[in-house]
């Protein structure tokens, strides 16, 4: 029987050119290696996950008891706004980008992404954006406080303070980063597949990554336009969101949610992909309805562009629009249900093992389903009118995003970290993490369903003692401490396992897909030879199905790996200078900032010229 040990016999590839060797910090600053960029994204995502969690902890302490005055007014609003902005854009999205960077090329048998320097540009632009959003605390002593949805005219100069400038500036940089990354990965997945990997042989996780890259590329432009109009209003005094001049508050809502709803599918689809990869490995059978799972993911991506109006049922769009968006929203339940039943079909009557990765993956299914069911209630306009802006909605999207997206990502960490670090995570700590997190998560968010039904609105900093909301709020806050403890256990586990973890070997889970055929961590060139893909589960079939062995070529391959480059960072920095110029356009202390825009634009042109003429 064939085994992955066969691959060790392969000739090492011959590098087409010498790689200039840089070590240490310089290497990380100039890297174009998708694996290093993936680690940068993942590390940043984890860091901001802790920051966003801390923000939540603070405002949950404020809400634990009635009539408290610890974080009041704009301080509270700032914490809520930054909790959501941080979790969506700076925690979950970069973690997804981390997985997609690290594993998409490995899963499709490629040596890197299609445009490695563009990939580095995406990372540095994300980095600049993440700092910009949070810089308002440094420069204004306050966070943006208009909610993560930033409804204009609430964010215009008349109503929103200076921190909003940092918010639009940071989000604009993140939008650029995501659109560029989207284009890059669409090309990578479509064109850099190993020979034989037809679309139906592409792993489900990579498929979901392909869908979200299209969503990123096509859904960020509308919000970018919304942000640009907001920036113009605040900087130059245009009148887009000025109701006194005939402007309509619906405009921002349409532009934002035309992005915002595809965005929530960007957050959930990768976790669905991770679960679809993990369940087959630990049930030791193929994914039930493999193709149906892929097609329903694609369908969710398409429908995602036609449902944004369900966020606006209370905004007064009229009965026709309400009815149309209610129908399209209800349709989303079909592909989602297809996925859920296929996962259940995979589990049904199988011999499962339960390492932590599998625990998180299995618990994803009911938790996500609970969030999905309350989501279906919001598809109905009359019900939604009752639930809009109450804690019921908060409960809904936390079940989907924490019980769904975040649990899926945790599963991914336990499953994939051995490939990244070469070390297994500690299972005992992992199980503590899982059970405490699951308990804490449900203790926090389940009572919010009741709070919402009892009429507690979102985004209020306190409530009177006789409103009847005291018990549920206290329970919810106590759950946050459990989640905090669980997450810190996870971080401790990650860090200590890097040193003390058991050696993982190439294929610790006896897995199905190509990333497990190379060493852990993989070499710079990923694979010693380009694998030929013969089935949906190439590595499984190599090991267990005679006749499907992945052939090892006798000749060493000649390869070309891209050289490290400063240029991506130059372009990002120049874009950052333009943003600083816009932020200070009208001057600070009498010194106008607008010349910085010109400096930045020249910087972009020069560094792009240096980029295209640089030998790779």
Partner 1 sequence: MSAHAENLTHDDAHGHDGHGALAENNFLGLPNIKLAMWAFLGSECMFFGSLIGTYFFYHGNSLSGPLPKDVFSIGITSISTFLLLMSSVTMALAVDSMKQQKPSTARNFILATALLGATFVGFQVLEFHEFYTEKHLVFAGPNASLFGSTFYTMTGFHGTHVTVGVIWLVIMSILIQKKKLVPGKEAVNVEVMGLYWHFVDIVWIVIFTFVYLLEFLK
State the nearest-atom distance from the C-beta of 354 to partner 1, in Å: 34
Token code pair at residue 172: 């604009």
The CA-based dihedral angle spanning residues 221, 47, 577, 156, taken in that order and rounded to the nearest 10 degrees: 60
Q: Which is closer to partner 1, CB of 453 or CB of 535?
A: 535
Reported residue count of the chain is 616
Q: Is 100 one of the annotated active-site residues of the chain?
A: no
Q: Give the footprint of partner 1 on residues 591-610 (CB under 8 A).
A: 605, 608-609
586 contributes a contact to partner 1 by CB under 8 A? no
Q: Is 263 one of the annotated active-site residues of the chain?
A: yes
- Maximum Cα interatomic distance, the chain, rounded to a whole number of Å: 79
Nearest to 427 by CA among 499, 356, 504: 356
144 contributes a contact to partner 1 by CB under 8 A? no
Token code pair at residue 274: 């991770």
Question: Which is catalytic among the residues 193, 254, 261, 378?
Answer: 261
372 contributes a contact to partner 1 by CB under 8 A? no
State the nearest-atom distance from the C-beta of 290 to partner 1, in Å: 17
Residue with tokens 């096509």: 218
390 bridge partner residues: 457
**Contact assessment for residue 570 and residue 128, using Cβ atoms and an 8 Å cutoff:** no
Q: Which of 221, 249, 345, 521 binds partner 1 (CB under 8 A)?
A: 221
Q: Which of 75, 442, 535, 563 binds partner 1 (CB under 8 A)?
A: 535
Q: Is 22 one of the annotated active-site residues of the chain?
A: no
Q: Which is closer to partner 1, CB of 308 or CB of 461?
A: 308
Q: Is 69 one of the annotated active-site residues of the chain?
A: no
Compute φ and ψ for 287, nearest 5 degrees.
-65, 125
State the nearest-atom distance from the C-beta of 590 to partner 1, in Å: 20
Distance CA 341, CA 243 (A): 48
Buried b (16+ CB within 10 A) or exposed e, 468-484: ebeebbebbbebbbbbb
114 contributes a contact to partner 1 by CB under 8 A? yes
Question: Which is catalytic among the residues 296, 336, 374, 497?
Answer: 336
Compute φ and ψ for 148, nearest 5 degrees.
-70, -20
The 3-state secondary structure of 7-21 reads HHHCCCCEECCCCCC
Distance CA 133, CA 131 (A): 6
Q: Which of 49, 82, 97, 224 binds partner 1 (CB under 8 A)?
A: 224
State the nearest-atom distance from the C-beta of 236 to partner 1, in Å: 4
Q: Which of 141, 318, 547, 590 binds partner 1 (CB under 8 A)?
A: 547
473 contributes a contact to partner 1 by CB under 8 A? no
Which span (64-72, 187-195, 351-359, 466-474) binds partner 1, by CB under 8 A?
187-195
Q: Give the footprint of partner 1 on residues 482-521 (CB under 8 A).
A: none
For every residue of 559-593, DSSP letters joined together read E-PPPP-SHHHHHHHHHHHHHHHHHTTT-BTTB--
359 contributes a contact to partner 1 by CB under 8 A? no
Token code pair at residue 576: 């950052």
Question: Catalytic residues, which ones?
Answer: 83, 112, 148, 177-178, 261, 263, 265, 276, 310-311, 336, 339, 458
Binding site for partner 1 (CB under 8 A): 13, 16, 108-111, 114-115, 179, 182-184, 186-187, 190-197, 214, 217-222, 224-226, 228-229, 232, 236-240, 245-248, 250-251, 254-255, 258, 529-530, 532, 534-535, 547-549, 551, 553, 557-560, 605, 608-609, 612-613
């Amino acid at each position: 029987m064939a085994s992955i040990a066969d691959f060790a016999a392969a000739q090492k590839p011959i590098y087409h050119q010498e790689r200039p060797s840089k070590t240490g910090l310089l290497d990380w600053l100039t890297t174009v290696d998708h694996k290093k960029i993936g680690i940068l994204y993942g590390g940043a995502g984890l860091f901001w996950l802790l920051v966003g969690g801390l923000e939540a902890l603070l405002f949950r302490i404020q809400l634990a008891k009635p009539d408290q005055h610890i974080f009041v007014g704009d301080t509270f609003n700032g914490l809520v706004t930054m909790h959501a902005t941080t979790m969506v854009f700076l925690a979950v999205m970069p973690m997804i980008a981390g997985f997609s960077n690290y594993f998409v090329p490995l899963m499709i048998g490629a040596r890197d992404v299609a445009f490695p320097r563009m990939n580095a540009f995406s990372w540095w632009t994300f980095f600049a954006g993440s700092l910009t959003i949070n810089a308002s605390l440094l420069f204004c002593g306050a966070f943006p406080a208009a909610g993560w949805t930033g409804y204009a005219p609430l964010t215009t100069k008349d109503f929103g303070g200076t921190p909003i400038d940092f918010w639009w500036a940071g989000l604009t940089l993140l939008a650029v980063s995501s659109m560029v990354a989207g284009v890059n990965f669409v090309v990578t997945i479509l064109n850099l597949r190993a020979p034989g990997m037809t679309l139906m042989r592409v792993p489900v996780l990579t498929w979901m990554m392909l869908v979200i890259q299209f969503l990123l590329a096509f859904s960020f432009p509308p919000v970018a336009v919304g942000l640009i109009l907001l920036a113009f209003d605040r900087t130059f005094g245009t009148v887009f969101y000025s109701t006194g001049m005939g402007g309509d508050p619906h405009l921002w809502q349409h532009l934002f949610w035309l992005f915002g709803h595809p965005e929530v599918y960007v957050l959930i689809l990768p976790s669905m992909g991770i679960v679809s990869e993990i369940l087959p490995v630990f049930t030791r059978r193929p994914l039930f309805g493999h193709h149906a799972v892929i097609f329903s993911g694609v369908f969710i991506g398409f429908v995602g562009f036609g449902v944004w109006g369900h966020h606006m049922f209370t905004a007064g769009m009229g009965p026709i629009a309400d009815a149309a968006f209610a129908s399209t929203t209800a349709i989303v339940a079909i592909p989602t249900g297809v996925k859920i039943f296929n996962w259940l079909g995979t589990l049904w009557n199988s011999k499962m093992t339960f390492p932590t990765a599998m625990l998180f993956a299995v618990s994803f299914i009911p938790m996500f389903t609970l969030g999905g069911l309350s989501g279906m209630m919001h598809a109905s306009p009359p019900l939604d009118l009752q639930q809009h802006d109450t804690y019921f909605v908060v409960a809904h999207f936390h079940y989907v995003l924490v019980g769904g997206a975040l649990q899926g990502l945790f599963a991914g960490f336990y499953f994939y970290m051995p490939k990244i670090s070469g070390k297994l995570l500690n299972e005992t700590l992992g199980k503590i993490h899982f059970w405490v997190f699951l308990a804490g998560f449900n203790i926090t968010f389940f009572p919010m369903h009741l709070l919402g039904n009892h009429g507690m609105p979102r985004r209020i900093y306190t409530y009177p003692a006789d409103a009847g909301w005291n018990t549920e709020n206290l329970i919810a806050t106590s759950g946050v401490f459990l989640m905090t403890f669980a997450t810190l256990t996870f971080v401790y586990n990650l860090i200590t396992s890097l040193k003390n973890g058991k050696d993982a070997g190439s294929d610790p889970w006896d897995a199905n897909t190509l990333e497990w055929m190379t060493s852990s961590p993989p070499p710079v060139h990923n694979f010693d030879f380009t694998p030929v893909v013969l089935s949906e589960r190439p590595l499984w079939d190599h090991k267990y199905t005679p006749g499907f062995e992945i052939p090892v070529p006798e000749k060493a391959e000649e390869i070309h790996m891209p050289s490290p480059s400063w240029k991506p960072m130059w372009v990002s920095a120049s874009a950052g200078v333009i943003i600083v110029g816009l932020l200070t356009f009208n001057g600070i202390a009498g010194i106008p900032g607008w010349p910085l825009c010109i400096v930045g634009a020249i910087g972009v042109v020069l560094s792009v010229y240096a980029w295209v003429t640089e030998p790779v």
